[in-house]
Amino acid sequence: MQLLETTFWSAGGSRHGMAEQLGFSKSKTNALIAGLVEQGLLAEAGLQRSSGGRRPENLQLHAGLGVVVGIDIGATSVDVAVLGPDLAVLAHHGEPADVREGPGVVLARVRVLVRELLSRAGFAPRQVIGIGIGVPGPVNFEIGQLVNPPLMPAWDSFSIRDYLREEYAAPVFVDNDVNLMALGELWRLRRSLTNFLVIKVGTGIGCGIVCHGEVYRGAAGSAGDVGHICVDQEGPRCHCGNLGCVEVMAAGPAITRMAVEAAMAGESAALAECLRAQGRIDAIDVGEASRAGDASANAIVQRAGSLIGQMLASIVNFFNPSHVFIGGGITRIGPLFLAAVRQSVYQRSLALSTRHLEIQYTPLGAQAGLIGAGALAMHETLKVRGVAP
Amino acid sequence: MQLLETTFWSAGGSRHGMAEQLGFSKSKTNALIAGLVEQGLLAEAGLQRSSGGRRPENLQLHAGLGVVVGIDIGATSVDVAVLGPDLAVLAHHGEPADVREGPGVVLARVRVLVRELLSRAGFAPRQVIGIGIGVPGPVNFEIGQLVNPPLMPAWDSFSIRDYLREEYAAPVFVDNDVNLMALGELWRLRRSLTNFLVIKVGTGIGCGIVCHGEVYRGAAGSAGDVGHICVDQEGPRCHCGNLGCVEVMAAGPAITRMAVEAAMAGESAALAECLRAQGRIDAIDVGEASRAGDASANAIVQRAGSLIGQMLASIVNFFNPSHVFIGGGITRIGPLFLAAVRQSVYQRSLALSTRHLEIQYTPLGAQAGLIGAGALAMHETLKVRGVAP
């Protein structure tokens, strides 16, 4: 099992590298590999360039191992994908959704989508070996349930796992959406970075933490809940009860609110026109106006970036990550936001913490959550399944 | 080597438990143990109570293994101890010191103290198997040097390791003082807690982080540098250049400054009397006045605790630790400080993060740094020494 896991994380390692990573002898490794190849779990894939002698074959998980299902539930959207053992997306569908409608409505739709996508990709339900789901709230990872989720109260203590198990024999793993974005990036990086953060800015603000090469979930599973860090003690009241939380001042709804205020106050012709034409303004409209040079939109984007950077500065001083990746809807707002975040962090954090710090948008982009859900499903399935050895 | 390390961390495990922890067979474990006992590295210590059959012996590191030296350099003090393999303190001496005098002065004195303490405990220099040192600044752990330490600029890039190696053949390990307090508590707990923080409040404010059961030092070794987290954007300017850092507003010197101001403004007879009698007021005097019911001293203690709690609330939301241990000089100020910290954290952190959160003074107290320095020396020495197997 260790060997399959190692293969999954190294994505095509050589026999020799595998033996080294596992600390096994060459002959033991070769015997294990032969067994797994015979069982149809591992495949030899072409030849690796070598400096001479007999060329070691690259190894990869066998496509016949089955598929995993990745589900990324956002506050206002749902994405479902069928992925191969190498996390190639074999079929994908995303659509708007409202988590506040509760697990019954949302998961019924998810179930339909999974069925459709499996059929489209040409797989039967029994070929699903694992299901990974990300949800926008705090999760008790062991039991796979949300715990007091502020954005989706109807989901509290609902067993997503049991619901999906009715249809699939495969194990179901549930995690917070940002943890999965972090896991997705960790897999993409093949663990070449071991201490980094993923910040998701959308309806809320959350943070996925990778520490010592593993996703860190905290003592009670709520690690990374950075949306309620205070950035202004005299700021507006947040739904959590406190004043000046970064979420209430700088997440998607705050950007929208600032834009509507600017439009109504006659401070921005572009935003006013947008409000008139659509009846509403969203964060992407603000980004567009900003890129078109609207001063008011620029000020809003900079204010949001600066507040998020101020929160991040505290976190960077504390955690000293090598990289901060920013994802979620905010990434579509454009480069000015990122520049404002960076400026704020570099100004407020200690020199030693920022000397080699990289702050950028998530390389996996909008797919980070889905790839993470797939990675969770593969990783945990390979850990729990009793496949020899 | 693994077996000695496991013994060090488990402090007297049984043969059976040892085999289980290492994943070795009973016979392999017994053979390894026999070898180590023969080499005088491991000792069998009494019998463990058992439900029947042959009683398994408890194991511990052999006292003849040698001793380690623990050195805890604070901003205004230095502590040196000689410790046995079980971290029992065999000899200890602490005295005031001023790190600003530079490494030459401070380490020359340390060298004298080590010599004296070894002689007092009856050990020769060659019996020292490892030396662990904690310093109050950011450390590059790999090379054992301070990097841009704000409290002790003269130490920048000075090789403490090379200096002490002139006299001792044993390996020398240098770490940040708060990391060592965290390591000390982790050892005391035998890793029974895996995600916790140690906050040191003295001349500065720092934080040691234990994550996944290991001390976490960050990408550049500056993790836990929480003293410069902003708690008031309109607060006084800190030596780091920013406004309202928690360190400039709530650490020892800030408490002293607030007390002198209160004394001069005639707000507190007790503090004024203290200032008159001593010519100065330190944090402990403020604690004494507070315990005696002085309203002004109470307000100062509460203000410091509340500001530190505000900084901690952000960290707790982000990291979701199971425990926060507070150490350093501040612990002598009394229970009101701890109460103020707790109130501030519970008010500002999310319910899920604080539901099972414990905030208390460091159980190892003033010895946390020394025990940590000893634990570092033992742990790293057992890792690097080429003792079979």
The CATH number linked to B103 is 3.30.420.40
One domain, residues B206 and B177: no
Secondary structure class of A56 (helix, strand, coil): coil
A360 touches chain B (CB under 8 A): no
pLDDT at A388: 36
CB atoms within 10 A of CB A31: 13
Q: What's the mean per-residue pLDDT of chain B?
A: 90
Q: Does B218 touch chain A (CB under 8 A)?
A: yes
Q: Does A247 touch chain B (CB under 8 A)?
A: no
- The model's pLDDT over B96-119, given as tens digits with 9 standing for 90+, comes to 999 999 999 999 999 999 999 999
Q: Which residue in A has a C-alpha nearest to residue B213's C-alpha?
A: A212
Domain with residue A25: its CATH number is: 1.10.10.10
Which member of A318, A347, A357 has the closest CB to residue B226?
Answer: A318
Contact B308/A305 with Cβ under 8 angstroms?
A: no
Residues A214 and A342 in one domain: yes
Residue with the larger pLDDT of the pair A88 and A240: A88
pLDDT at A54: 54
Rg (CA), chain B: 23
pLDDT tens per residue across span A249-300? 999 999 999 999 999 999 999 999 999 999 999 999 999 999 999 999 999 9
Give backbone dihedrals phi and psi of B145, rounded to 5 degrees, phi first.
-130, 150
Residues A89, A225 within the same domain: no
Domain that holds residue B87: 66-186+368-384
CA dihedral for B96, B102, B108, B113, sign (positive or negative) = positive
Residue A133 lies in a domain: yes
- Asked if residue B210 is part of any domain, the answer here is yes
A209 and A101, same structural domain? Answer: no
Domain end (from B43, B64, B85): B64
Is B243 a member of any domain?
yes
Q: Is A221 an 8 Å CB contact of chain B? A: yes
Q: What is the mean pLDDT of residues A135-155?
A: 87
In a domain, residue B15? The reply is yes
Same domain, A60 and A73: no
User: Of the residues A64, A96, A117, which one is the last residue of a structural domain?
Assistant: A64
Q: How far is A243 from chain B (nearest CA, A)?
A: 9
Residues A326 and A289 in one domain: yes
In A, minimum Cα distance to B355 occurs at A220
- In terms of domains, do A308 and A350 share one? yes
Q: Are residues A223 and A312 in the same domain?
A: yes
Domain edge (last residue) among B37, B64, B91 = B64
User: What's the start-to-end Cα distance of chain A, in Å?
Assistant: 6
Both A207 and A346 in one domain: the answer is yes
Query: In the prediction, which pLDDT does A387 show?
Result: 46
Distance CA B223, CA B237 (A): 23
Domain-located, residue B102 = yes
Q: Measured between CB atoms, does A192 come within 8 Å of chain B?
A: no
pLDDT exceeds cutoff 60 at A56: no
Most B CBs within 10 Å: which of A192, A307, A314, A358, as the mutation test of the B interface? A314
d(CA B5, CA A225): 36
Q: How many domains does chain A have?
A: 3
Of B220, B242, B311, which is closest to A355 when you measure between CB atoms? B220
Chain A stretch 282-301, residues whose beta carbon is closer than 8 A to a beta carbon of chain B: none
- Residue B385 scores a pLDDT above 80: no
* Reported confidence tier of residue B53, pLDDT bands at 50, 70, 90: low
Beta strand A128-135 with A172-176 is: parallel
- Domain assignment present for residue B171? The answer is yes
A23 contacts chain B (CB < 8 A) = no
Which of B204, B309, B208, B197 lies closest to B251 in space, CA to CA? B204
Q: What is the DSSP-derived secondary structure letter of residue A13?
A: -
Closest partner CB to B218 (pick from A195, A217, A232): A195
A355 neighbors B220 (Cβ within 8 angstroms) = yes
The answer to whether the CB atoms of A221 and B355 lie below 8 A apart is no
Answer whether residue A172 is part of any domain: yes
B283 and B245 in a common domain = yes
Domain membership of residue A317 (yes or no) is yes
Please indicate, yes or no, whether residues A228 and A86 belong to a single structural domain of this protein: no
B71 and B172 both lie in a single domain:
yes
Digit-coded pLDDT (tens) for B128-167: 999 999 999 889 888 888 888 877 889 998 999 999 888 8
Please give the residue of chain A at the shortest CA–CA distance from B226. A318
pLDDT in tens, A169-227: 999 999 999 999 999 999 999 999 999 999 999 989 999 999 999 999 999 889 999 99
Give CA separation, B169 vs A240, B5, B296, in Å: 58, 21, 54
Of B228, B351, B352, the CB nearest to A350: B228
